[in-house]
């Protein structure tokens, strides 16, 4: 998914965008938000979002200044501007900065979705052309595995390819993507082996095999691209038909090996930053149900590795850290408010009071009633 960052000094606008848009369905994920340009600039330098949706008039650094400064550090980021005014001077200046669209408030859900679909298509094409794939390749990938919600023609997909894909297990795409995300070379190659077995059993010709392999390469590179992995200099461009099956399999095996290796290096370099990103997320969302697998997906790590690394770094498991944080917040509410204990329990994330009580006593060695308002 492509990462989106929202900037607006009106909290209702940010919450509205978060709730009204089916981000995941459109292949986007919200990676952060800010209430002003200065805050946004400090965050986007670390998050490197693919798209920033920003208000144009904000105190301090305005939307145009934010765009200008962001383009200095990450020129690939795309922008959509929001405004409560039909201010054409701002719009003209925005277009000079290559802003993709200019939306007027109050925001219209259907209009936003249309704009996001257009941006998604542009990001897909930018990604593919960046790694040497032609426009024909792009149409082939999209149509052969339904990679786009657009109504593009399926003329590129012949019956042989269609039948071959049907012979692949239903969740092949998901398993291949997951294997790359988890940096598991063996699992990824097992899936590739299955695909080549189908090439043999179905007597697929080499040209159609190249198309199908390129579709797999697209997915592999897409995972790496979203992780900001610098793979430009080590990966070959898209394959043509002048191959045999042995060299074709060697080609994709080399790509899997290169990408997994680069991702492992990146994880080693940035493991501490990933852990603090997870910790910050828990700090800000302690009252929610948060699974280790969700957090692992968020930072593209294997769940077992993340759990062990978090425990080693902070001396406590992810689950226990969240429980301790909840109880700490509960004590604060007991001492500073007149809230009922049952309400405090639910506010801090415990829908069951007995569960809240049990963790409270275990962590503090006291009952909630032993704490008094200060």
DSSP string, 268-331: HHHHHHHHHHHHHHHHHHTTS---HHHHHHHTT--HHHHHHHHHHHHSS-HHHHHHHHHHHHHH
DSSP 155: T
CB neighbourhood size of 237 (10 A): 11
Q: Given this structure, which CATH class describes domain 320-370?
A: mainly alpha
Structure token digits, residue 70? 């962001």
Residues facing residue 104 across a β-bridge: 83
Whether the full predicted model's pTM is greater than 0.75, yes or no, is no
Query: Cα(206)–Cα(114) distance, rounded to whole angstroms?
Result: 38
Burial zone of 263 (CB within 10 Å; 0-12 exposed, 13-18 middle, 19+ buried): buried
Structure token digits, residue 257? 């090996």
Query: Cα(111)–Cα(109) distance, rounded to whole angstroms?
Result: 5
Query: Cα(129)–Cα(144) distance, rounded to whole angstroms?
Result: 18
> For tokens 């009922």, what's the residue?
340
Structure token digits, residue 210? 């190249």
Tens-digit pLDDT profile for the chain (374 aa)? 788 999 998 888 898 898 889 898 888 889 999 999 999 998 887 788 889 999 888 888 888 889 888 888 887 889 998 877 655 566 666 666 668 788 887 888 888 999 998 898 888 777 665 544 555 545 544 444 443 333 333 344 456 666 666 777 667 777 888 888 888 889 999 999 988 998 888 888 887 787 778 778 877 877 777 776 665 555 555 444 467 888 889 888 888 888 888 888 877 776 677 888 899 999 999 999 999 988 987 776 778 888 998 999 999 999 999 999 999 999 999 999 999 999 999 999 999 999 999 999 999 999 999 987 76
3-state SS class at 30: strand
E strands, 78-197, where? 78-83, 101-104
With contact defined as beta carbons under 8 Å apart, do 6 and 30 qualify? Answer: yes
Nearest to 180 by CA among 250, 260, 251: 260
Structure token digits, residue 264? 């492992």
The values of phi and psi at residue 332, to 5°, are -60, -40
3-state SS class at 354: helix
Q: What is the pLDDT of residue 349?
A: 95
Q: What is the pLDDT of residue 95?
A: 65
> For tokens 């493991």, what's the residue?
271
Query: Cα(340)–Cα(347) distance, rounded to whole angstroms?
Result: 10
Structure token digits, residue 195? 């695909």
Q: What is the layout of strands, in order, in the sheet containing 78-83?
A: 28-34, 2-7, 51-55, 78-83, 101-104
Domain boundaries, the chain: 2-125, 135-266, 320-370
Query: Cα(136)–Cα(52) distance, rounded to whole angstroms?
Result: 29
The dihedral built from the CA positions of residue 128, 130, 131 and 135, taken in this order, carries a sign that is: positive
Q: Given this structure, which CATH class describes domain 2-125?
A: alpha beta
Residues facing residue 51 across a β-bridge: 4, 78
Residues 6+ apart with CB under 8 A from 15: none
């Amino acid at each position: 998914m492509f990462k989106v960052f929202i900037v607006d000094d009106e909290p209702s606008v940010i919450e509205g965008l978060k709730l009204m848009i089916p981000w995941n369905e459109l292949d986007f994920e919200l990676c952060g938000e800010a209430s002003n340009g200065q805050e946004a600039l400090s965050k986007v330098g670390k998050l490197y979002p693919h798209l920033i949706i920003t208000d144009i008039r904000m105190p301090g650094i305005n939307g145009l200044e934010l765009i200008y400064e962001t383009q200095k550090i990450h020129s690939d980021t795309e922008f959509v501007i929001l405004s409560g005014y039909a201010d054409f001077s701002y719009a003209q200046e925005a277009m000079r900065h290559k802003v993709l669209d200019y939306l007027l408030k109050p925001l219209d859900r259907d209009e936003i979705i249309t704009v996001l679909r257009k941006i998604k298509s542009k990001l897909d094409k930018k990604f593919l052309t960046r790694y040497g794939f032609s426009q024909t390749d792009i149409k082939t990938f999209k149509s052969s595995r339904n990679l786009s919600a657009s109504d593009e023609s399926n003329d590129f997909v012949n019956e042989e390819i269609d039948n071959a894909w049907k012979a692949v297990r239903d969740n092949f795409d998901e398993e291949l993507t997951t294997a790359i995300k988890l940096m598991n070379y063996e699992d990824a190659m097992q899936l590739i082996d299955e695909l080549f077995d189908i090439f043999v059993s179905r007597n697929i010709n080499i040209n159609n095999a190249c198309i199908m392999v390129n579709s797999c390469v697209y997915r592999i590179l897409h995972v790496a691209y979203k992780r900001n992995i610098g793979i430009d200099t080590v990966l070959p461009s898209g394959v043509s038909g002048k191959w045999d099956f042995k060299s074709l399999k060697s080609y994709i095996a080399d790509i899997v090996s290169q990408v997994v290796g680069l991702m492992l290096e990146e994880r080693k370099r940035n493991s501490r930053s990933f852990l603090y990103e997870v910790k910050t997320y828990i700090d800000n969302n302690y009252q929610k149900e948060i699974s280790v697998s969700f957090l692992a997906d968020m930072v593209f790590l294997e769940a077992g590795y993340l759990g062990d690394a978090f425990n080693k770094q902070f001396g406590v498991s992810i689950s226990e850290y969240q429980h301790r944080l909840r109880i700490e917040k509960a004590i604060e509410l007991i001492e500073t408010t007149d809230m009922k204990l049952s309400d405090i329990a639910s506010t801090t994330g415990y829908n069951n009071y007995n569960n809240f009580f049990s963790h409270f006593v275990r962590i503090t060695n006291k009952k909630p009633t032993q704490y008094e308002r200060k």
